[in-house]
Structure 1
Amino acid sequence: MEVVLLEDVKALGKKGQIVKVSDGYGRNFILTKKLGIEATPKNLNDLKLQKANEAKIAAEHLAAAKDLAKHLEDKSITLSIKAGEGGKAFGSVSSKEIAKAIKDQLNLDIDKKKLVLPEPIKTFGTHEVPIKLHKEVTGKLAVKVVEA
């Protein structure tokens, strides 16, 4: 019996795969627990259409991420932090503050987890902050840190 898996099944296959199983295993386990459906021509066609739809949506997300990365290239945000003795920065700028500044200054909602900041910014000046917009797209944003 051939079944199309609706979920990942350990030691059998991943979601969307067509696998050959024994009749009893298919009827008594896979079909009853809704882990898969029988591989009929209608179900195979539905699976093909679903995969095409998922590929189209993934391509749209990738294009949107590329557009946003291009939009962010020439943009910059300004943050101010207190200066200590001798013009040294008192404190630092974290990804949370940068995300809030992006929302306030550029009207873009970017999650702080997407900002690739290995450590907080502790110096004045302009810094390039990479933003992971998609698994294949990384944009850059200029962050100017000035004295308060």
Structure 2
Amino acid sequence: MKVILTHEVSSLGTAGDVVDVKDGYARNFLFRRGLATAWTKGGQKQVDSIAKGREVREVKSLEEAKSIKGNLESKPVTVPAHAGKEGRLFGAVSSADIAAAVKAAIGTELDKRKIEVPTPIKSTGAHEALVRLHPEVQAKVTLNVVAG
């Protein structure tokens, strides 16, 4: 099934790309989360407008993305979470929690969909997350998860 991506999906592509995926993946994941729409003959206009908007945003945000990357990588971000006595969390730290902690620490607002955590964070201590700021710029954020 051909779909038009409306948001960036890490394993497929960026907004405006036309990709071929399996029917179940498109119906059960991409469409339900609003990450893609079905490709039609009239959908080409939508593809063109998304690509044009992406080009306008990327040109001016490359320098900004590099400066944000420097701020994110310069110091660890403290993420408060509910934990037991032995440092095990009640649940896990989500990308929304990380985005809120970054906003509180640095003042930069991040999109939670652009934050990737390689393994679920279920304990206190130091962890790392990857933030896709721009197609060419990715920042590694050091997270200090504390009980709080």
Identify the TM-score tier after normalising by the shorter chain: 0.5 to 0.7
Paired with 2:57 and 2:84, the residues of 1 have a C-alpha distance of: 47
Paired with 2:113 and 2:56, the residues of 1 have a C-alpha distance of: 26
TM-score of the two chains, using structure 1 as the length reference: 0.55
> Which residue of structure 2 aligns with residue 132 of structure 1?
132
Which of structure 1's runs of 4+ aligned residues deviate more than 3 A?
A: 54-59
Q: Helix, strand or coil: the match of 1:90? A: strand
Paired with 1:64 and 1:135, the residues of 2 have a C-alpha distance of: 13
**Larger deviation: 133-142 or 72-81?**
72-81
Paired with 1:93 and 1:109, the residues of 2 have a C-alpha distance of: 17
For 1:67-106, list aligned pairs within 5 A. Answer: 67-79=67-79, 80-83=81-84, 87-91=86-90, 92-106=92-106
- CA RMSD, 1 decimal: 2.8
> Which residue of structure 2 aligns with residue 142 of structure 1?
142
Q: Give the CA deviation at 1:129.
A: 1.0
- The runs of 5 or more residues in structure 1 that have no matched partner are 1-9, 15-50
| Matched AA of 1:81 | H
| Matched AA of 1:109 | E
Query: Do the aligned partners of 2:58 and 2:134 also contact (CA within 8 Å) in 1?
Result: no
Deviations 1:38-74 (A, max 9, x none): xxxxxxxxxxxxx9xx978643321211121122111
Paired with 1:55 and 1:111, the residues of 2 have a C-alpha distance of: 19
Deviations 1:1-51 (A, max 9, x none): xxxxxxxxx6xx99xxxxxxxxxxxxxxxxxxxxxxxxxxxxxxxxxxxx9
Query: Do the aligned partners of 1:95 and 1:120 also contact (CA within 8 Å) in 2?
Result: no
User: Identity over aligned residues, as a percent?
Assistant: 35
- The runs of 5 or more residues in structure 2 that have no matched partner are 1-40, 46-51
Indicate the structure (1 or 2) with the bigger Cα radius of gyration.
Answer: 1
TM-score of the two chains, using structure 2 as the length reference: 0.55
